[in-house]
Structure 1
């Protein structure tokens, strides 16, 4: 990875500030020149518990993003909406990564998805049950499924870009995302939107024919035994989708409200795979190719976005009981179904020889049924001099897998073609009690805001097994029906392809039912020492039932030199508790060696096998966060913020390599297991506190609103420079440290952690409005990203790119607005400069079947066209 260039960053600040006019932040939410002053006066509920604190007064960087800015563009999911307006926010869109395709991870400042705390209406939101263990960015982490919140229910999003574990607890290392939902007691809206991808896969191999001899018999052609014609463009129109959403507010008597949002979304899959030019059928007895090769369908791999369907409901309510006492509640529910594919199994592969069932081969389908719900209820009010806020929030996420169009070929013709793969479940319940008041200390410029509180949290994690036929293999039988063994006493199977093909499943040996709880107490002071100097002090103690306790602090300050220029900075420590998924996730398969059954797979770090190899109870990740910056309003309606940061994280939790899976290590592992009387395990991987890392960067946001072309023009921009480096590989497990750190955490995993996000990302937009017409132009810049291979030679660097979006809107009446536009106007695809067959430059894998790198920061879907109608009442 290239060294991070602070000179480049400094030059960008000095030379680029005059051009950077605004980001969809602090003062860029409302149209019109007057928006700047209005927006900076908006109250934020994160960053400080001082009542009435505005964004412009904050001593830490906070982005305030309105619903209008989020919904500019054709996307209806909050992850892609935020990616387009928040430079430090990254949303990964890989394919062929099993469960991660259905709940894709997102992150802040290039850190892991689980190092950002997510709140809904100021309270902690639960994570998903899914653990990302495949080869995507965010591997080994658990993310919050932001897309379980309907974007049409969002009033605004607040993003605290600073370490805040001392204020809010675990996970807030990179920062905090707080989603504030609509609370209107009247009116509402109905929206209908739809779109599709109209794109060209530039220069991919296209199967326009196969090579035959004079008699029309297919003949070999080099390594690709069926010839493809390379270099032609392939046009695709797919991913058709539509979204129907409704929001309505009701008054509850004279003193309450109920705001309801319902949303339905359906999206067809996209197809970004190249044609499969491998042979499909077995060779004929005379050694020639099967003539069916000429007409077989070669567009048979599912590479792209999965087919999805979701129904989502959110209800937000509040009721005043009088005397300053208010009841409040938020409830969410989503049911989502998603279908993705696995690698195609050719009929000619002897390992999958069940042609009576699938005469032309088969492509397995993984169906995920995702349920997500949460319920928050609370009461807040005033008792004497104290404000209080008491609440209970519980949330639950489950993912069930059903595998279709597949087979366990060891069962031959008796195999099911559909398997229930099992279920992941995660639940969280939190009880919070917060108090705050102002205290007169006499010597201060103003009264001191003092807040303190208590929190109790319980978490549960379950894995339930699927159908036995999915994770067991049926042994071959002789003509008398007796099991067949080889010379070493190992069972003989009808094929080398074991278990359900292309499937996600959990075995009975991998079932999990675990829980834990934690208690915490915090205190926070917000002090105006002088008229120009504000300081926030925070401390938190938290105790977990599994790994123990942790204490953290934060100091932040802001000094105003003038009304237009202020400097701010902070120092804080933080932590992230190891998730239950990381501690107890289990996925094992059984192999036979020398007539004995051995388990191989992912095991809990506290399992006997992992402990024998040096594993044990995971400890919390610990961090130190430094931040310094300034806010500047050089002229009216022009706002500039610059914040530099450094985040040092110790004991990061990572997934080890599979120990014992390599011939050079198998003897060591076998010896360790024998010495510890562990039987039935051949190889294992598990989570460890394995590395230290350093992340540093700069955030720049600016905004400028003025009159232009007889209308109002809002220019906005934001830049993020970010670099993450593994400063030390500290993993040394195994007796007498028999395994080198490079064996436990190899270069590929290290590079995944370092290259999860582009070093430079920028969002630029211009929104012009006049009367009934409005026009939005947006440019998103993504710096280069390296997708790591197992060796340096296998690394692929994805070139930097600019993605252009455009949208035109028109108000037909005061109540009805229509809009249409295009995302990725110029149909940009990731390029890498890696040359493949036919002179094509790309990061093609599997002979261009998977043509584009999954680490692309903007995905690989191409041009998207959309239209939307919104009726407001």
Structure 2
């Protein structure tokens, strides 16, 4: 018996001694780690899978082989001669499918075909192929549900354009960088243009060459990520290459000979020690002014300004566009970004990323014509803007200059022990905008008794002594975010994820210099400065916790549920949840998926505390100064304006995915989003003859529904080359106010409404009702050709001041982009992109709402009067004063050289 026990012990010892532990990392052909790869010891059932960072650890017998497999990639089997085995998986068909997505789940990552949620994945190649100068414009021509547009009246909005997913406004899409929340901009859009009352992150500040891929979750995700994720989530994944680098030189010009663009970008990587890496990007660019003014109508000028017809016609004979400058402003930008990490040991890693962007924008206000700002009323103008004689004075055009600084940084620690994945991080980020107004004046006259005076013989505040350059102040926003995220695959079928987020936010309004705001005419002409009482520092904090559970009932049937609780220091708490499911059949060729969730969005500090005077175009009156009061001011209390509360949403999505073979895929998703107590910047309300103010209010409930379609076919052999096709589209079924407008009692008492026809149009019909993107690419030898067609559907406006019997409709238009790539050798690539090849421009027309409207259109004089009202007498003839449905200033030709090293 003792001999048998000894023999058994020796056999066991031999087996133990014959085993070894193998570790390694699995990456794709571009050096990106692949989570979720199945690893099996050949000939056994012993196996494991890679973690979030592509790492694995497994005990196997000596001289065994390991098989590595993952959907969309070629299976690899390798023998294990040592204790470290790193693997590179190549995608089926030789392309990197990038099917693994980390967005939309807090448990284990999944492939794009097995996710229960609709997610778009764009590679860096996809973004570069558009030929667009900035990241946000590249998305415009790749994602149908994503829209952005340049605003026709610049001011502070020239620093960044509003964007949105599914017509929900920029503040309802959460932006992540490597899975961590990016800071919002400090700008809140207050002009009467798309995006009014909203704020969002400055995604145009992110250098395209630093991006590995972008994952866009087209579904409500507040339960997973917190506030601002009502419409969806955009997760920007940064490059991790430690050995590959490239430099890109790019240039461009419009077909009109303006808008010149010149840029240079460097992306490179390096190892740090034996276990670390760093990837960095430096990007410098400058874009010149592109000016597209319209021809101004004299009759409208005479009516608006009460001017002498002879003076108006004489000036317009010299300047048919009334000196106006609008289109695309001059912009210079410097962008710096790093992304890195270091392996402490086999289970622990430190990671980090940081970015800094400086942007300077020069734009212009509306030209102050000599009959608008007459020298007869202000004789000193002849000296300030002429040679001292009245005849030399021809008006002036104030400039608006913006300096933007944007930064973000994250440092974190990841650990994988006993199957538990832990991620602890600290993120900070901020955005500051400082403004300068030049070539302007403070036209306030106040006599010694404090009364309005136009007599230059009396003591006055400014006049000839007015500054011509002003510092009207600016805004700043920053946040600090702490995250703890924990997850584990408890079994082969059941995964758990939980965590917490603490965030503190700070918003500051900088006071302008005294001359920019003082006086009975509100300070600097064109852009009034922030007064001391409207300036200050404001902050809040919140704490959130979440729990996420995923259960693979079978290999085809998935259930996923998430619940989240958030508590804010300034308005209370919210509890939201999400449930999703997916079912596959026909050997994974068909996937059905659906989700139902609730969500919330906290009012931004910008919306709570912004208070200012601003110049706006009022049809029939020209440019007038109006007030914006915040919800916590004494003025708001006196006017019966309530404090802001959070928005609440309910989001339903259902879809089907088809992948009959490795080259073809098709997904169709329906969505329905209801938002309760939606925050809007309302119409100015006249409470009394001396009190007309606009303010933010939880003014409406809304409902938005539509259909997304994404299809693609690749690896089609055509002659000696290979071709691929893509087709995607978004169609809005419903986008409207759901129920009556929620006017405060004080507004209802004066028989007015915070939402009029103009505001409703800006919120719901100012984006294309449909958008379709269809393209093809063909690779042959050293050449690559791409053709992309983007169809923008119609948009509808109810412009301020126009007849209620009419509407403005922008017509359906298609924009065609052409790209040609030539790989001169393994290192040098030359690319030519012609954007808007056919020089398609936005086009709008009046549409009659009824017989009375048709009568207006049958009368050229009445039609011309309506045209004057919506274009500021023709200054904005291409886009109308309130905006247009896509940003095109003509054909744009771009040439780039990329050198790899």
Report the TM-score range of the alignment, normalised by the length of the smaller protein: 0.7 to 0.9
Summarize the alignment of residues 743-822 of structure 1 with structure 2, pairs less than 5 Å apart: 743-790=753-800, 791-793=803-805, 795-822=807-834
Aligned to 2:705: 696
Aligned to 1:18: none
1:831 maps to 2:840:
no
1:606 maps to 2:644:
no
Say whether the 8 Å CA contact 1:283–1:289 is kept in structure 2. no
Say whether the 8 Å CA contact 1:612–1:734 is kept in structure 2. no
Aligned to 1:174: 231
State the Cα distance separating 1:727 from its structure 2 match: 1.0
Between the aligned partners of 2:241 and 2:558, the Cα distance in structure 1 is 34
The two structures, once aligned, show a CA RMSD in angstroms of: 2.8
Summarize the alignment of residues 202-281 of structure 1 with structure 2, pairs less than 5 Å apart: 236-276=256-296, 278=298
Say whether the 8 Å CA contact 1:320–1:326 is kept in structure 2. yes
State the Cα distance separating 1:731 from its structure 2 match: 1.8
Aligned to 1:119: 176
State the Cα distance separating 1:108 from its structure 2 match: 0.3
Corresponding residue SS for 1:128: coil
Which segment drifts farther, 292-301 or 457-466?
292-301
Q: Deviations over 1:269-298 (max 9, x none)?
A: 111102446599999999889978755685
Aligned to 2:410: 376
Aligned to 2:512: 466
Aligned to 2:333: 310
Is the alpha carbon distance of 1:736 and 1:755 closer, same or farther for their aligned partners in structure 2, counting shifts above 3 Å?
closer
Say whether the 8 Å CA contact 1:372–1:396 is kept in structure 2. yes
1:581 maps to 2:603:
no
State the Cα distance separating 1:657 from its structure 2 match: 2.4
Aligned to 1:104: 161
1:406 maps to 2:440:
yes
Aligned to 1:725: 736
State the Cα distance separating 1:564 from its structure 2 match: 0.3
Q: Which has the larger radius of gyration?
A: 2
Between the aligned partners of 1:864 and 1:129, the Cα distance in structure 2 is 31
Is the alpha carbon distance of 1:97 and 1:792 closer, same or farther for their aligned partners in structure 2, counting shifts above 3 Å?
farther
Which segment drifts farther, 821-830 or 546-555?
821-830
Corresponding residue SS for 1:322: coil
Say whether the 8 Å CA contact 2:293–2:321 is kept in structure 1. no
5+ long unaligned stretches in structure 1: 1-25, 199-235, 441-445, 475-496, 591-598, 668-680
Between the aligned partners of 2:313 and 2:740, the Cα distance in structure 1 is 53
Say whether the 8 Å CA contact 2:793–2:813 is kept in structure 1. yes
Is the alpha carbon distance of 1:744 and 1:860 closer, same or farther for their aligned partners in structure 2, counting shifts above 3 Å?
same
Query: Among 580, 599, 606, which residue is 1:556 paired with?
Result: 580
Say whether the 8 Å CA contact 2:223–2:563 is kept in structure 1. yes
State the Cα distance separating 1:303 from its structure 2 match: 1.0
Between the aligned partners of 1:45 and 1:579, the Cα distance in structure 2 is 27
State the Cα distance separating 1:76 from its structure 2 match: 2.1
Say whether the 8 Å CA contact 1:622–1:650 is kept in structure 2. yes
Which segment drifts farther, 651-660 or 240-249?
651-660
Which segment drifts farther, 745-754 or 855-864?
855-864
Between the aligned partners of 2:639 and 2:307, the Cα distance in structure 1 is 50
1:355 maps to 2:382:
yes
Say whether the 8 Å CA contact 2:322–2:369 is kept in structure 1. no
Say whether the 8 Å CA contact 2:91–2:97 is kept in structure 1. no
Aligned to 1:512: 536
1:451 maps to 2:497:
yes
1:157 maps to 2:214:
yes
Between the aligned partners of 1:123 and 1:581, the Cα distance in structure 2 is 22
Say whether the 8 Å CA contact 2:72–2:99 is kept in structure 1. no
State the Cα distance separating 1:734 from its structure 2 match: 3.0
State the Cα distance separating 1:447 from its structure 2 match: 3.2
Between the aligned partners of 1:335 and 1:538, the Cα distance in structure 2 is 38
Aligned to 1:543: 567
1:86 maps to 2:143:
yes
Query: Among 839, 851, 856, which residue is 2:877 paired with?
Result: 851
1:860 maps to 2:888:
yes
Between the aligned partners of 2:198 and 2:357, the Cα distance in structure 1 is 22
Aligned to 1:426: 477
Say whether the 8 Å CA contact 1:509–1:588 is kept in structure 2. no
5+ long unaligned stretches in structure 2: 1-70, 74-89, 386-392, 445-461, 616-624, 847-856
Say whether the 8 Å CA contact 1:319–1:328 is kept in structure 2. yes
Between the aligned partners of 2:526 and 2:628, the Cα distance in structure 1 is 18
Q: Deviations over 1:779-820 (max 9, x none)?
A: 000100012213534531000001001011101111000011
Which segment drifts farther, 450-459 or 807-816?
807-816
Is the alpha carbon distance of 1:846 and 1:686 closer, same or farther for their aligned partners in structure 2, counting shifts above 3 Å?
closer
Summarize the alignment of residues 127-138 of structure 1 with structure 2, pairs less than 5 Å apart: 127-138=184-195
Aligned to 1:221: none
Between the aligned partners of 2:323 and 2:259, the Cα distance in structure 1 is 16
Say whether the 8 Å CA contact 1:63–1:160 is kept in structure 2. yes
Summarize the alignment of residues 185-204 of structure 1 with structure 2, pairs less than 5 Å apart: 185-198=242-255
Corresponding residue SS for 1:366: strand
Between the aligned partners of 1:435 and 1:865, the Cα distance in structure 2 is 48
Q: Deviations over 1:551-609 (max 9, x none)?
A: 0000000011222011000000001110000000010489xxxxxxxx96212212222
> Relative contact order, CA 8 A, sep 6+: which one is greater?
1
Between the aligned partners of 1:641 and 1:464, the Cα distance in structure 2 is 48
Q: Deviations over 1:312-358 (max 9, x none)?
A: 00000110000311101110000100011111111233556412211
Aligned to 2:27: none
Summarize the alignment of residues 585-600 of structure 1 with structure 2, pairs less than 5 Å apart: 585-588=610-613
Is the alpha carbon distance of 1:871 and 1:289 closer, same or farther for their aligned partners in structure 2, counting shifts above 3 Å?
closer
Query: Among 644, 651, 655, which residue is 1:618 paired with?
Result: 644
Between the aligned partners of 2:844 and 2:614, the Cα distance in structure 1 is 36
Which segment drifts farther, 507-516 or 287-296?
287-296
Is the alpha carbon distance of 1:94 and 1:337 closer, same or farther for their aligned partners in structure 2, counting shifts above 3 Å?
same
Is the alpha carbon distance of 1:837 and 1:702 closer, same or farther for their aligned partners in structure 2, counting shifts above 3 Å?
farther
Between the aligned partners of 2:887 and 2:121, the Cα distance in structure 1 is 26
Between the aligned partners of 2:357 and 2:765, the Cα distance in structure 1 is 32
Query: Among 705, 714, 719, which residue is 2:724 paired with?
Result: 714
Is the alpha carbon distance of 1:365 and 1:610 closer, same or farther for their aligned partners in structure 2, counting shifts above 3 Å?
same
Between the aligned partners of 1:702 and 1:744, the Cα distance in structure 2 is 42
Say whether the 8 Å CA contact 1:283–1:290 is kept in structure 2. no
Which segment drifts farther, 361-370 or 501-510?
501-510
Aligned to 1:16: none
Summarize the alignment of residues 43-62 of structure 1 with structure 2, pairs less than 5 Å apart: 43-62=100-119
TM-score, reference length from structure 1: 0.82
Is the alpha carbon distance of 1:64 and 1:809 closer, same or farther for their aligned partners in structure 2, counting shifts above 3 Å?
same
Between the aligned partners of 2:528 and 2:261, the Cα distance in structure 1 is 26
Say whether the 8 Å CA contact 1:316–1:330 is kept in structure 2. yes
Between the aligned partners of 2:306 and 2:813, the Cα distance in structure 1 is 45
Between the aligned partners of 2:308 and 2:885, the Cα distance in structure 1 is 49
Is the alpha carbon distance of 1:417 and 1:770 closer, same or farther for their aligned partners in structure 2, counting shifts above 3 Å?
same
Corresponding residue SS for 2:519: coil
Say whether the 8 Å CA contact 2:190–2:196 is kept in structure 1. yes
Between the aligned partners of 1:605 and 1:51, the Cα distance in structure 2 is 43
Corresponding residue SS for 1:317: strand
Say whether the 8 Å CA contact 1:273–1:304 is kept in structure 2. yes
Query: Among 342, 348, 352, which residue is 1:325 paired with?
Result: 348
1:534 maps to 2:562:
no
Between the aligned partners of 1:27 and 1:644, the Cα distance in structure 2 is 26
Between the aligned partners of 1:421 and 1:286, the Cα distance in structure 2 is 35
